[in-house]
């Protein structure tokens, strides 16, 4: 099972000091957080993509390329790559390039984005969100698998005799996850292709996650990729820890109370009771995270949101130490002990290459 | 059959709730089949409704109320008149209901006010709201001003409206329950495919 972190890349004032980091500070902090993830033994760093303030990561492959050069083992991913408003041709090229530079450590997650005006800013129409995700990904899928593509669709200029360069590393396209909170069409899309399905699993009660994951698993089996239990599922999660749970609550509350998305709403206690958010000791994080498999089944990737709501970099790095030292080693062991035989690991470049070579031999 | 009363009255006791109860009792009398009545008091859900706006999901009590309303066979909605319209709390409850969840549902609209001068609130505010939600609004709406509680006439309007609601509850074809349906991916893709067939 893979463990990692995902970042939204928000520039949020620290409510305890009133200070807002500069964009440069935030971008460098994201890099420091990614490097720390590798140092503490996490498997994955994923960055969001946004094209409006207060978010900085508009250019994920630039950031991931820089991180790739400074890490050895970390899987570099996205959360998410906007398949709706980006040109699928440019996604094919950018991520193929990144995969070469990163020696096969790249995968990516498709998402539609949730900021209405981004669509018109990029010449698209939000009412076509699902259709854009369907058509653009169908093209991206071909661009990585066919050397010469002739294509015509509804949303983009046609292609005649087009070759996306560079070709994917070792002829193996990067593994793709599809992220969605509540659109069954996207679970269906992930299932159709046999790709991974990621539910961000934060801010909402677990029932929503459960319904979407069940749909994806059923449809994955329907399309003949394996049993429902063999489908490739990723979940988000959000935690704040201190050795002593009261300390965690005391320190996190001022951030929670005014945080974007959930601030100014229910109390921290109500929110942790109703959603996967955990604020407490590492042991509490272990218990709550292990319980995710009760509604999502045995899954392959767990990403935590750690840097948000204005938490200072120093605090985030301390959180990552706790995650790497006290939480993830226990989770690895406990999840492995519960996992039935036949539930696969998340595909990586290496495993996909091995599968491709087996097919050639067969 | 299940009848749900949504009352946006704020005081206890409340004339809005009283009107809702009388309409419900009359509907039960008019119905040919046994009717279970459940009352949703929005006052008790005010905080969870506000939180639903900030969070995007309902708390437990609100979720139960939404389930009750969307699974009902008939609905009686009663609001006090605030600033010449339904109250903000009343509107907020219907703002957090899933789109299409009330489609085809028989609804009796009712309102209370301090003066009869606002009685057309039923026609200029409530009826268009439930038309937008694609509910089936019964022809008679019931407005009770303070003076109506001491004058003849309210009973007759309650009976007429309740009779209409009971008739619709028995007579309308079953409502479609909006379960999310999966469009097979091939169909989704085919709908976008270009005529050139590449």
Given this model, what pLDDT does residue A188 score?
A: 97
Contact A264 B54 (CB under 8 A): yes
pLDDT at B198: 37
CB contact under 8 A, A215 and B56: no
- The fold for domain B2-190 equals Rossmann fold (3.40.50)
Tell me, what's the pLDDT at A360? 83
SS3 B126: helix
User: What are the pLDDT digits (tens) for A104-115?
Assistant: 999 999 999 878
* 3-state percent breakdown (helix, strand, coil) of chain A, nearest 5: 45, 15, 40
pLDDT tens for chain B, 198 residues: list them: 999 999 999 998 999 999 999 999 999 999 999 999 999 999 999 999 999 998 888 999 999 999 999 999 999 999 999 999 999 999 999 999 988 999 999 999 999 999 999 999 999 999 999 999 999 999 999 999 999 999 999 999 999 999 999 999 998 776 765 555 688 898 888 888 755 443
- What is A120-162 written as a DSSP string? HHTT--GGGHHHHHHHHHHHHHHHTT-SSEEE--SSS--EEEE
Sheet of A75-78: strand order equals: A75-78, A44-47, A2-7, A301-304, A233-235, A196-199, A176-179, A108-111, A81-82
Query: How high is the pLDDT of residue A79?
Result: 97
Pick the residue from chain B with its C-alpha nearest to A161: B198
Q: Which residues of B9-47 are buried (b: 16+ CB within 10 A; e: fewer)?
A: bbeeebbbbbbbbbbbebbbebbeeebebbebbbeebbe
**For the segment A60-70, what is each residue's pLDDT rounded down to a tens digit?**
999 999 999 99
Are A185 and B188 an interchain contact pair (Cβ–Cβ within 8 Å)?
yes
Instruction: List CB contacts (< 8 A) between A205 and chain B.
Output: 57
**Mean pLDDT in residue range A28-49:** 98
Partner-chain contact B55 A262, CB within 8 Å: yes
Compute φ and ψ for A79, nearest 5 degrees. Answer: -155, 65
Q: Return residues 43-102 of B near A (CB < 8 Å).
A: 50-51, 54-57, 59-60
- Candidate from A138, A153, A205 with C-beta closest to B57: A205
Residue B135's pLDDT is: 97
Q: Which of residues 67-126 of A touch B (CB under 8 A)?
A: none
Give the Cα separation of A320 and A333 in Å (integer).
19
Mean of pLDDT over chain A: 96
Which residue among A185, A204, A274 sits closest to B56, beta carbon to beta carbon? Answer: A204
pLDDT digits (tens, 9 = 90+) for A222-239: 999 999 999 999 999 999
Residue B152 has what DSSP assignment?
A: T
Q: Which of B48, B182, B187 to mutate to test the interface with A (most CBs of A within 10 A)?
A: B182
Q: What percent of chain A shows pLDDT beyond 70?
A: 100
Of B55, B57, B180, the CB nearest to A184: B180
Q: Answer yes or no: do A188 and B189 touch at CB < 8 A.
A: no
CB–CB contact A152 B194 (8 Å): yes
Selecting from B54, B186, B198 the residue whose C-beta is nearest the C-beta of A151 gives B198
Is the model's pLDDT at A296 over the cut of 60? yes
Q: How far is B67 from chain A (nearest CA, A)?
A: 15
**Domain definitions of chain B by residue range:** 2-190
pLDDT exceeds 70 at position A55? yes
Which A residues 263-322 touch B at CB under 8 Å? 263-266, 270, 274
Q: What is the pLDDT of residues A102-154, one digit of tens each?
A: 999 999 999 998 788 999 999 999 999 999 999 999 999 999 999 999 999 99
Preceding peptide of A54 cis, ω within 30°: yes
pLDDT at A274: 87
Which residues of chain A lie closer than 8 angstroms to B46, CB-CB? none
Contact A138 B189 (CB under 8 A): yes
pLDDT at B197: 40
pLDDT of residue B196: 45
**Cβ pair A1, A28 in contact under 8 A:** no
> What residues in A contact B57, CB-CB < 8 Å?
203-205, 208, 274
Q: What is the DSSP letter of A33?
A: H
More confident residue, A314 or A362: A314
Residues of A in contact with B51 (CB under 8 A): 265-266
Q: B77 to chain A, minimum CA–CA distance in Å?
A: 27
- Give the one of B51, B56, B189 whose C-beta lies nearest to A203's C-beta: B56
CATH number at A2-361: 3.20.20.30
> What does the buried/exposed string (b/e) look like for A271-303 if buried means 16 or more CB atoms within 10 Å of the residue's CB?
bbebbbbbbbbbebbbebbeebbebbbbbbbbb
B190 close to A (CB below 8 A): no
Domain boundaries along the sequence of chain A: 2-361
With beta carbons under 8 A apart, name residues in chain A contacting B193. 153
Give the tens place of pLDDT for each residue, A325-338.
999 999 999 999 99
Q: What is the number of CB-based contacts under 8 A between chain A and chain B? A: 63
B185 touches chain A (CB under 8 A): yes
pLDDT of B174: 67
User: What ipTM describes this predicted complex?
Assistant: 0.77
Instruction: Tell me the per-residue pLDDT of A146-176, one tens digit each, with 9 for 90 and over.
Output: 999 999 999 999 999 999 999 999 999 999 9
Q: Which residues from chain A sit within 8 angstroms of residue B185, using beta carbons?
A: 134, 188-189, 191-192
Identify the pLDDT of residue B177.
Answer: 59
Residues of B in contact with A157 (CB under 8 A): none
């Amino acid at each position: 099972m893979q463990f990692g972190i995902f970042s939204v890349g928000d520039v949020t004032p620290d409510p305890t000091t009133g200070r807002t980091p500069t964009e440069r500070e935030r971008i460098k902090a994201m890099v420091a957080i990614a490097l720390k993830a590798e140092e503490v033994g996490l498997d994955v760093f994923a960055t969001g993509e946004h094209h409006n303030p207060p978010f900085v990561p508009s250019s994920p492959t630039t950031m991931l390329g820089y991180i790739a050069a400074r890490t050895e083992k970390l899987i570099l991913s996205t959360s998410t790559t906007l398949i709706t408003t980006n040109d699928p041709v440019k996604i094919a090229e950018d991520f193929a390039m990144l995969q070469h530079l990163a020696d096969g450590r790249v995968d990516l997650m498709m998402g539609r984005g949730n900021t209405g005006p981004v669509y018109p800013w990029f010449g698209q129409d939000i009412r076509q969100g699902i259709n854009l995700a369907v058509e653009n990904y169908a093209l991206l899928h071909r661009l990585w698998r066919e050397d010469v593509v002739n294509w015509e669709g509804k949303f983009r200029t046609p292609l005649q005799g087009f070759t996306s360069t560079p070709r994917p590393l070792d002829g193996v396209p990067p593994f793709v996850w599809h992220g969605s909170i509540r659109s069954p069409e996207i679970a269906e899309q992930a299932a159709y292709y046999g790709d991974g399905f990621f539910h961000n699993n934060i801010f909402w009660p677990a029932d929503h996650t459960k319904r979407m994951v069940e749909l994806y698993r059923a449809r994955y089996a329907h399309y003949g990729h394996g049993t429902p239990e063999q489908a490739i599922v990723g979940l988000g999660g959000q935690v704040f820890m201190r050795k002593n749970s009261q300390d965690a609550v005391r320190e996190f509350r001022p951030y929670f109370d005014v945080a974007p998305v959930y601030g100014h709403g229910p109390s921290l206690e109500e929110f942790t009771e109703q959603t996967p958010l955990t604020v407490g000791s590492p042991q509490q994080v272990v218990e709550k995270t292990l319980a995710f498999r009760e509604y999502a089944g045995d899954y392959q990737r767990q990403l935590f949101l750690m840097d948000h709501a204005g938490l200072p970099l120093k605090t985030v790095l301390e959180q990552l130490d706790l995650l790497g030292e006290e939480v993830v080693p226990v989770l690895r062991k406990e999840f492995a002990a519960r996992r039935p035989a036949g539930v696969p690991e998340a595909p990586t470049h290496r495993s996909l290459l091995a599968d491709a070579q087996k097919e050639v031999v067969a | 059959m299940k009848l749900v009363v949504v009352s946006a009255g704020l005081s206890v006791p409340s004339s809005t709730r009283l009107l809702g109860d009388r309409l419900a009792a009359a509907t039960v009398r008019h119905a040919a089949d046994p009717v279970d009545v459940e009352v949703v008091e929005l006052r008790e859900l005010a905080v969870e409704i506000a939180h639903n706006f900030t969070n995007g999901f309902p708390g437990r009590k609100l979720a139960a109320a939404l389930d009750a309303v969307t699974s009902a066979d008939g609905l009686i909605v009663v609001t006090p008149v605030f600033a010449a319209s339904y109250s903000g709390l009343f509107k907020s409850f219907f703002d957090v209901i899933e789109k299409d969840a009330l489609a085809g549902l028989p609804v009796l609209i009712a309102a209370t006010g301090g003066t009869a001068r606002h009685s057309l609130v039923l026609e200029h505010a409530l009826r268009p709201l439930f038309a937008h939600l694609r509910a089936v609004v019964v022809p008679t709406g019931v407005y009770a001003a303070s003076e109506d509680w001491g004058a003849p006439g309210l009973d007759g309007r309650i009976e007429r409206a309740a009779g209409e609601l009971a008739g619709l509850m028995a007579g309308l074809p079953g409502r479609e329950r909006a379960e999310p349906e999966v469009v097979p991916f091939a169909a989704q893709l085919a709908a976008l495919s270009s005529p050139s067939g590449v």
